[in-house]
């Protein structure tokens, strides 16, 4: 586990807060995932995926759903 | 004194289309209606004598030199105040006119010193010119009697007539008395002198201060022969309200107001048009030169952004380029505790290349990156991102727009389809209502602020949304209709309440929305903001803004005519910066205030090339022209042009680079012109990240804060020493032109090219124009841009392409760039940075007129006369509660760190909010700011930090360590590395 994953968790939660206005949870999670895919370096994506795999402590539900959706979309693997 | 090369047509050009025909001295002349006879004559090459008239100012008609004869009219009307009429027959030269003009000049000269040969204006003095033009051969009145010229007068003795002037020689003062009309020279301003003895009271300076600058610091005091120019209440210029913009100096027809540099050097012999390197207004200047010596900077009347105006920074604060602290030799060191070793360029570049390749071989391809400053030119930023993508082989490129306007890019692209402001600056002349949010134009964008104030004096209405009472809220002849004094961090909440009123009170421009915007998205947004929880009444406890003010402001913006929104870093530098930008775009679309003159969404960019650095593909996720690296077709285009495969994945942003460095994954950084240690938040975090890297390369003018953590120093070039372009806040691409050689030997683009070649990636540009040609070939919005076209047109606003070969002043005219405008729902999410018992105040940061950004340039000029240190502004209530009085040392502590500043007790603040600037490194303003950032872009939340303020007696521990560290770092630089006196 990386010492700075907490910061990534905060960032993912912040992203989820913006998309939370979408009542369709599938769409909202997809938007979170698309944002992560478009703007996060693959290393950051791998790290947040790994964090989710390890239990995802601190990730709020929509952020966690977004990261799960990212895992489906993304070709990077958790590290 | 006017520019040495510009023609002065006497009065401004009218804004009319209808043409009028007349005869001047028998010559047929056709000009727009509303043109003065003086201007019409000048356009026809007939120069009517004038003194009080200049085309920067409205006609005044006081000097009586420009008198003419007009067939069928009595008398001798002043041609400056007489508009042309169809069929008018004007005579500009006759015996009578010559006699009248000579008489006028005789009176002027009778109260003016005759020291022409030693006068700074000699050669370009309008009074001297007019004396010659009218053929003045004698001054019958002599120089006796009352005058403003000589400090002493002979005492009048009964029966001996008028007093006789004295030579002024103190040794001959016997029998003389002080001249009550004489006033000595005012040298208080560091950049110009005021010598009243040379003044002809033409009022050009007073009118320039009013009409051009809008400060009203100058006045004509007294009546008749006692009339004189006075600053404020007859104070020195420095002590007065004067903001040192220099408009009066430029307007002065004599040497009464003269630049000290002109007095020191004499008249310039050539002039070069270039663009200011300070704020996002991007003023055009004429650098008036003697060889490679700048005599003075004169704002260019043909400048499309500034129309001949400037501020104290652009006109005067250029001395940094030759400041003794300028480093001009490449330097290396293995550790930051080692002395710097001066090396050759070859050795420095070879070292950079080998270190970067070593790091990549050891830690991976993605272990290095490069960042630029918005002070770099378009060509330089383009080249650095190309170096990173093509030579480094990754996308770890970023620019300092990350920490200022990255939310603008994201927010406007998401809603309108383009990452840029919608208007040109001149659009404001058609604006009826200005909504200024999170911007302080009089300090940060002073030349545009003058245009705003001009329009406000003409009747436009003003809404200010800002936690502080900025100067625009109330200044001479300007008063905001509404000041929504919100709590820091509640922009989105306030914008939602404005939208709520517009929707719930039927103020939506339904026809515009139906024709131009996505229907479903609009309906979702309408329902969202209509929710009672977004009403001003429901939110006023959170925002601190009374509901009635919000309702009034919303009604005014939506129904007051052309509504234009201007915003700045007070919008973007928040955890919801991008959301606020979207909310602003929503407001403009909902009210139909977009797509024509006078309206729009206008980000006021902090630095000169923020827009350009973003346009040039500096962000890690997109190529030039805002196209994502994951777009296969776009990437293939760049791969073909650059001859290497490119990554489809976004790279690290600046704050991500810091995190990766602390994780041990990011080891090398090439930094061109940016001082991240001073400008980025949470200083200790930044310095820890730099300390974790193995090769930090800083290309700069000075040993900046970041360079103190560097292993390689490459001497950069100032904007005066290279060719290129800057793109200002209105998408205007303007020329930057070399007026002197770079003392380090290379322009910045050349240094980047050397590194690329040394790393095995060939770059062979011979001139920045070739870089722009490549940008144009690869970027659709720049397709028509070239140095030749910029030189021909003066400047170009992108998009510039086949459809818009001369550029695009107003965007989204018939359709949005993305097709239909997209409303986005903007839920207010309070920042996690909240006040509590330990940190009960909110700190917000900003800028001041005389200083610029990290101060690297302005601190090394006399601008520090006005602002020698950063201070903490605090409301009297908060100060009293803490026993703080003006000038006390106060400790400012946040959860990130603490620093000590002098207190300035000010009612500009609201209780509970304190404010400081970040222009001086020793202030440690960013020691306090936190790692919080915008959710979409990681733009730091500079504007909201919870702090406690207490009286203290000494600098903070960080400041003491910083002072020791900085002193040691300066001692590690060999004296030979600094610029040598020329």
Q: Does B827 contact chain A (CB < 8 Å)?
A: yes
Flag if B935 and A17 touch (Cβ within 8 Å): yes
Q: ipTM strictly over 0.90?
A: yes
Q: Is residue A11 part of a domain?
A: yes
Q: Which of A2, A35, A39 shows the shortest C-beta gap to B663? A: A2
- Establish, for the pair of chains A and B, how many residue pairs have beta carbons separated by less than 8 Å: 60
Q: Which residues on chain A are in Cβ contact (under 8 Å) with B937?
A: 39
Q: Which residues on chain B are in Cβ contact (under 8 Å) with A17?
A: 827, 829, 935
Comma-separated ranges of CATH 3.10.20.740 domains in chain B: 19-133
CA B192 vs CA A11, B254, B389, B761, B897: distances in Å: 51, 13, 48, 50, 41
Is the Cβ–Cβ distance between B290 and B431 less than 8 Å? Answer: no
What is the architecture of the domain spanning B409-596?
3-Layer(aba) Sandwich (3.40)
Q: Does B369 contact chain A (CB < 8 Å)?
A: no
Flag if B931 and A35 touch (Cβ within 8 Å): no
Segment B611-661, tens digit of pLDDT = 999 999 999 999 999 999 999 999 999 999 999 999 999 999 999 999 999
Measured in angstroms, the CA of B827 and the nearest CA of chain A are apart by 7
Q: Does B520 contact chain A (CB < 8 Å)?
A: no
Average pLDDT over residues A38-66: 97
Q: Which of A11, A18, A39 shows the shortest C-beta gap to B621? A: A39
Class of domain B19-133: alpha beta
Output b/e per residue, B214-249; b: 16+ Cβ within 10 A: bbbbbbeeeeeeeebbbbbeeeebeebbbbbbbbbb
Q: Which residues on chain B are in Cβ contact (under 8 Å) with A60?
A: none
Q: Does B631 contact chain A (CB < 8 Å)?
A: no
Is the Cβ–Cβ distance between B462 and B480 less than 8 Å? Answer: yes
Other residues' Cβ atoms within 10 Å of the Cβ of residue B565: 30
Tokens of B217: 């610091």
What pLDDT score does B143 carry? 74
Tokens of B836: 């509590």
**Record: fold of B343-404+610-768:** Rossmann fold (3.40.50)
Measured in angstroms, the CA of A11 and the nearest CA of chain B are apart by 6
Structural domain harbouring A21? 5-73
Measured in angstroms, the CA of B547 and the nearest CA of chain A are apart by 24
Distance CA B560, CA B555 (A): 7
Comma-separated ranges of CATH 3.40.50.740 domains in chain B: 343-404+610-768
Q: Does A38 contact chain B (CB < 8 Å)?
A: yes
Segment B780-799, tens digit of pLDDT = 999 999 999 999 999 999 99
What pLDDT score does B879 carry? 98
Distance CA B222, CA B660 (A): 68
Flag if A38 and B621 touch (Cβ within 8 Å): yes
What pLDDT score does B157 carry? 58
Q: Does A21 contact chain B (CB < 8 Å)?
A: yes
Is the Cβ–Cβ distance between B285 and B274 less than 8 Å? Answer: yes
What pLDDT score does B173 carry? 44
Flag if A4 and B663 touch (Cβ within 8 Å): yes
Is the Cβ–Cβ distance between B446 and B243 less than 8 Å? Answer: yes
Q: Which of A14, A21, A38 shows the shortest C-beta gap to B628? A: A38
Q: Which residues on chain A are in Cβ contact (under 8 Å) with B396?
A: 41
The yes/no answer on whether domain B841-971 falls in CATH 3.40.50.720 is: no
Is the Cβ–Cβ distance between B43 and B10 less than 8 Å? Answer: no
What pLDDT score does A2 carry? 52
The C-alpha angle B793, B794, B796, rounded to 5 degrees, equals 70
Residue B67 carries which DSSP code? B
Tokens of B491: 């922009």
Q: Is the peptide bond before A13 cis (omega within 30 degrees of 0)?
A: no
- DSSP conformation letters of B634-675: HHHHHHHHHTS---SS----HHHHHHHHHTT---EEEEES--
Comma-separated ranges of CATH 2.40.40.20 domains in chain B: 841-971
What pLDDT score does B144 carry? 74
Flag if A44 and B656 touch (Cβ within 8 Å): yes
Of A4 and B728, more confident: B728
Ranges of chain B with pLDDT below 70? 155-174, 982
Number of domains in chain A: 1
SS3 B891: strand
Q: Which residues on chain A are in Cβ contact (under 8 Å) with B665?
A: 43
Measured in angstroms, the CA of A73 and the nearest CA of chain B are apart by 14
- The answer to whether residue A77 scores a pLDDT higher than 60 is no
Q: Does A14 contact chain B (CB < 8 Å)?
A: yes
Flag if A43 and B665 touch (Cβ within 8 Å): yes
What pLDDT score does B47 carry? 97
Which residues fall within 8 angstroms of residue B73, CB to CB, at 6 or more apart? none
Other residues' Cβ atoms within 10 Å of the Cβ of residue B454: 19
Distance CA B267, CA B294 (A): 10
What pLDDT score does B177 carry? 87
What pLDDT score does B18 carry? 96
Q: Using CA of residue B544, residue B547, residue B549, residue B553, what is the dihedral sign? A: positive
Q: Is residue A44 part of a domain?
A: yes
Q: Is residue A78 part of a domain?
A: no
Find which of A35, A43, A77 to mutate to test the B interface (most B CBs within 10 Å of its CB).
A43
Beta sheet of B331-332, edge-to-edge order: B341-342, B331-332, B712-715, B695-700, B668-672, B368-372, B397-399
Flag if B663 and A38 touch (Cβ within 8 Å): no
Flag if B936 and A39 touch (Cβ within 8 Å): yes
Other residues' Cβ atoms within 10 Å of the Cβ of residue B483: 22
Q: Which of B665, B829, B937 shows the shortest C-beta gap to A17? A: B829
- The answer to whether residue A71 scores a pLDDT higher than 50 is yes
């Amino acid at each position: 586990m990386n010492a700075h994953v907490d910061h990534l968790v905060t960032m993912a939660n912040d992203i989820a807060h913006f998309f939370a206005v979408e009542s369709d949870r599938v769409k909202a999670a997809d938007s979170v995932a698309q944002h992560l895919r478009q703007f996060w370096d693959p290393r950051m994506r791998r790290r947040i995926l790994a964090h989710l795999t390890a239990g995802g402590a601190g990730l709020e539900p929509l952020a966690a759903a977004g990261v799960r959706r990212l895992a489906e979309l993304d070709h990077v693997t958790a590290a | 004194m006017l520019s040495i090369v510009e023609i002065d047509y006497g009065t401004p050009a009218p804004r009319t289309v209808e043409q009028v025909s007349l005869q001047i001295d028998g010559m047929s002349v056709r000009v727009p209606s509303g043109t003065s006879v003086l201007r019409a004559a000048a356009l026809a090459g007939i120069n009517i004598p004038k003194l009080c008239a200049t085309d920067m100012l409205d006609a005044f008609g006081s000097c009586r030199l420009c008198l003419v004869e007009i067939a069928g009219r009595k008398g001798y009307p002043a041609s400056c105040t007489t508009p042309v009429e169809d069929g008018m027959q004007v005579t500009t030269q006759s015996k009578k006119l010559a006699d009248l003009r000579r008489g006028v000049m005789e009176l002027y000269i009778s109260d003016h010193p005759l020291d022409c040969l030693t006068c700074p204006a000699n050669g370009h003095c309008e009074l001297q010119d007019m004396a010659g033009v009218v053929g003045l051969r004698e001054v019958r009145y002599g120089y006796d009697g009352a005058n403003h010229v000589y400090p002493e007068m002979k005492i009048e003795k009964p029966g001996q007539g008028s007093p006789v002037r004295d030579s002024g020689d103190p040794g001959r003062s016997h029998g003389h008395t002080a001249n009550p009309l004489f006033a000595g020279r005012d040298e208080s301003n560091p950049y110009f002198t005021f010598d009243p003895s040379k003044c002809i009271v033409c009022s050009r300076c007073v009118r320039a201060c009013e009409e051009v600058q809008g400060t009203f610091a100058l006045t004509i005091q007294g009546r008749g022969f006692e009339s004189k120019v006075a600053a404020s209440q007859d104070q020195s210029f420095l002590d007065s309200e004067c903001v040192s913009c220099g408009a009066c100096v430029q307007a002065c027809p004599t040497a009464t107001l003269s630049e000290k540099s002109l007095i020191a050097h004499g008249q310039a012999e050539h002039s070069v048009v270039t663009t200011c390197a300070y704020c996002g207004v991007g003023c055009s200047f004429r650098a008036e030169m003697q060889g490679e010596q700048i005599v003075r900077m004169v704002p260019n009347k043909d400048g499309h952004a500034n129309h001949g105006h400037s501020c104290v920074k652009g006109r005067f604060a250029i001395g940094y380029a030759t400041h003794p602290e300028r480093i001009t030799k490449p330097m290396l060191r293995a550790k930051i505790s080692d002395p710097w070793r001066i090396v050759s360029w070859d050795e420095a570049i070879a070292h950079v290349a080998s270190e970067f390749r070593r790091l990549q071989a050891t830690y991976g391809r993605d272990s290095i990156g490069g960042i630029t400053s918005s002070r770099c030119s378009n060509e330089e930023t383009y080249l650095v991102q190309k170096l990173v993508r093509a030579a480094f082989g990754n996308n770890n490129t970023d620019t300092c727009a990350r920490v200022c306007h990255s939310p603008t890019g994201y927010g406007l692209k998401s809603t309108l389809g383009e990452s840029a402001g919608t208007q040109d600056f001149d659009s404001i002349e058609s604006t009826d209502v200005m909504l200024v949010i999170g911007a302080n134009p009089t300090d940060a964008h002073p030349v545009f602020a003058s245009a705003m104030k001009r329009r406000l004096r003409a009747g436009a209405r003003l809404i200010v949304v800002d936690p502080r009472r900025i100067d625009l809220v109330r200044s001479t002849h300007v008063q905001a209709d509404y000041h929504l004094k919100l709590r820091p961090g509640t922009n989105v909440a306030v914008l939602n309440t404005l939208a709520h009123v517009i929707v719930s009170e039927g103020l939506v421009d339904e026809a515009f929305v139906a024709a131009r915007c996505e229907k479903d998205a609009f309906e979702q947004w309408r329902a969202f903001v209509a929710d009672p929880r977004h009403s001003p009444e429901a939110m006023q406890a959170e925002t601190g803004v009374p509901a009635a003010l919000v309702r009034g402001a919303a009604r005014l913006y939506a129904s007051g005519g052309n509504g234009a929104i201007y915003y700045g870093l007070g919008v973007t530098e928040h955890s919801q910066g991008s959301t606020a930008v979207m909310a602003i775009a929503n407001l403009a679309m909902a009210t139909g205030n977009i797509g024509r003159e006078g309206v729009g969404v206008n980000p006021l960019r902090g630095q000169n090339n923020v827009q350009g650095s973003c346009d040039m593909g500096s962000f890690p996720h997109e190529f030039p022209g805002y196209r994502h690296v994951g777009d296969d077709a776009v990437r293939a285009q760049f791969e073909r042009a650059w001859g290497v495969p490119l990554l489809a994945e976004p790279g690290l942003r600046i704050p991500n680079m810091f995190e990766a460095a602390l994780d041990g994954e990011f080891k090398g950084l090439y930094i061109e012109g940016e001082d991240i240690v001073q400008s980025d938040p949470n200083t200790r975090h930044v310095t820890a990240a730099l300390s974790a890297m193995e090769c930090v390369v800083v290309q700069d003018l000075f040993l900046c804060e970041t360079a103190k953590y560097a292993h390689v120093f490459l001497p950069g070039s100032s904007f005066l020493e290279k060719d290129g372009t800057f793109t200002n806040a209105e998408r205007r691409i303007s020329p930057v032109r070399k007026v002197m050689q770079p003392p380090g030997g290379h322009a910045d683009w050349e240094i980047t090219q050397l590194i690329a070649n040394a790393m095995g990636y060939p770059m062979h540009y011979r001139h920045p124009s070739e870089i722009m040609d490549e940008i144009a070939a690869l970027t659709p919005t720049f397709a028509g841009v070239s140095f030749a076209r910029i030189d021909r047109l003066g400047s170009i606003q992108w998009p510039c392409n086949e459809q818009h070969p001369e550029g695009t002043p107003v965007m989204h005219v018939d359709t949005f760039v993305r097709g239909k405008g997209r409303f986005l729902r903007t839920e207010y999410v309070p920042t996690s940075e909240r006040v509590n018992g330990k940190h009960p105040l909110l700190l917000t940061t900003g800028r001041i007129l005389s200083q610029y950004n990290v101060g690297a340039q302005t601190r090394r000029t006399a601008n520090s006369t006005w602002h020698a240190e950063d201070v903490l502004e605090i409301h009297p209530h908060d100060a009293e509660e803490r026993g703080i009085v003006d000038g006390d040392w106060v400790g400012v502590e946040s959860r990130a760190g603490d620093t000590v500043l002098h207190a300035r007790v000010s009612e500009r603040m609201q209780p509970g909010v304190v404010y400081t600037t970040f222009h001086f490194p020793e202030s440690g303003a960013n020691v306090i700011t936190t790692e919080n950032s915008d959710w979409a872009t990681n733009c730091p939340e500079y504007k909201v930090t919870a702090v406690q303020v207490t009286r203290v007696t000494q600098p903070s521990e960080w400041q003491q360590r910083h002072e020791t560290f900085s002193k040691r770092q300066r001692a590690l630089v060999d004296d030979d590395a600094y610029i040598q006196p020329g």
